[in-house]
Amino acid sequence: MIKFFRRLFIKDYQNVQNENVRGAHGKLAAWFGIISNLLLVAMKLGVAFAIGAAAYNASASANRTFLSFLPVALVADAINNLSDMASSVVTLLGFKFAAKPADKKHPFGHQRIEYIAGLAVSCIVIVLAVELFRSSLENVIAGTLVEYDVVTVVILGVSVLLKLLQAYFNYGMGKAIASPALKATSLDSFTDSISTFLIMISGILCLSLGWNFLDGYMGIVVSFFVIYSGIKMLKDTANPLIGEAADYDYVEKIIADIMRHKKILGVHDVICHSYGPTKMFISLHAEVDQRTPILEAHGLIDDVEEEVRKKFAVEITIHMDPIAVGDPLVDKLKAEVRDELASISKDLQFHDFRIVKGPTHTNMIFDIVLPYGEDIKPAAIYAYLGHRFADKDTKYHFVIHFDTPFVEQKKD
């Protein structure tokens, strides 16, 4: 089904590396979410108002308002779907603004507007969920009874199926373009189907056993689902604005593509800046044999940059690092440093290794990447290395620059 819709609505749908094709996938998923969630909201609110009107007309109490007779669990579920529809609208607007070109005041484009809008929507969702929790708790305390009918249960069953269809559709579209956002939307739809299923169960119990007191309790349960969705949405939209690590699989593909060039011997110091879902700026260091003529090496780097720009639709800057290749002393010292660092932590990495000989001592110069989550002090590393090379005929000094990883690698 996913492939059918992609082929029907998206031109050149298989070329998912193209920014316009990716945008078309996002817009199609957004419109599907808007239409299907609007249908769910209309069905649930229609049934809720019908139940509320019947209870209000049958009530002899003059102290209660019409709103107090509404089934809060059903209303909560409808508002949850309304928030999902708002998220789809944000997605649609995000892809629309993504197409807006950069200008003098915004040289990196406008894609982060999507995250800002997402923050606003998530805050509204959380506020509504807290209010629904309060209303549900009041109904539980007051002992409010809500009568469900067969039509309501059937509509809730249809809603569960439609939410599962949303989850399937968003997952398929997200997988097609490797979009974490659409995959997260898929998970959110699946979670919503569970909350709607719980309300349907309460309706069935009301019809079969006469348990018409469950609505308030189910409203509390659903409000927690909505709060969870709101907090998750808040986190998903805040993290890119704060500055989260780039997806390692994506960066690994770029590194692998660069390393296909035999004259590039290594890649390190990869830094990724994201200015939106498809707006990525990358800088990295590429190692080349120091004996390579400077114009030849510079031409190689220029060619690699252009290839990556076209293939991955990113802006990339590559710094060329000349390294000694085939020098027995450099290779020996480098192997000893690697061995010593591994004895401290297997996650310690180093690069840009070179030596500078002087009349009184030889400097070993290199960078070390300190992993997150490990309490490794630079002073301890100097001490370990100093002890390792203390008894050598040559006096060695260490000139070390300490980095932290900007792209977090996966661990086995």
List pLDDT tens digits, range 340-349.
999 999 989 9
> What separation, in Å, do the N-terminal and C-terminal C-alpha atoms of the chain show?
35
pLDDT of the residue at 61: 61
Asked if pLDDT for residue 257 goes beyond 80, the answer is yes
Most confident segment among 132-146, 236-250, 273-287, 377-391 = 377-391
Q: Where are the alpha helices (DSSP H) in 243-274?
A: 248-259
pLDDT digits (tens, 9 = 90+) for 80-127: 788 788 878 877 876 677 667 788 888 887 777 767 777 777 787 788
pLDDT tens digits for 138-163?
Answer: 878 877 777 778 888 888 899 899 99
The domain segmentation of the chain, as residue ranges, is 2-242, 248-403
Cα–Cα distance measured from residue 196 to residue 109, given in angstroms and rounded to the nearest whole number: 39
Handedness of CA 293, 299, 305, 310 (dihedral sign): negative
- Confidence (pLDDT) at 168: 92
Beta strands in 172-290 (DSSP E): 266-274, 280-289
Does residue 373 come out as left (phi exceeding 0), alpha (psi in the -120 to 50 range) or beta? left
**Does domain 248-403 bear CATH number 3.30.70.1350?**
yes
Q: Residue 397 in 3-state DSSP? A: strand
Compute how many other C-beta atoms are within 10 angstroms of the C-beta atom of residue 400: 15
Report d(CA 288, CA 404) in Å as an integer: 23
Spatial CA neighbour of 353 closest among 372, 376, 337, 369 = 337
Q: Are 278 and 22 in contact (CB under 8 A)?
A: yes
Q: What is the mean pLDDT of residues 261-283?
A: 88
| Mean pLDDT on 7-13 | 84
The CATH classification number of 2-242 equals 1.20.1510.10
Q: What is the pTM of this model?
A: 0.65
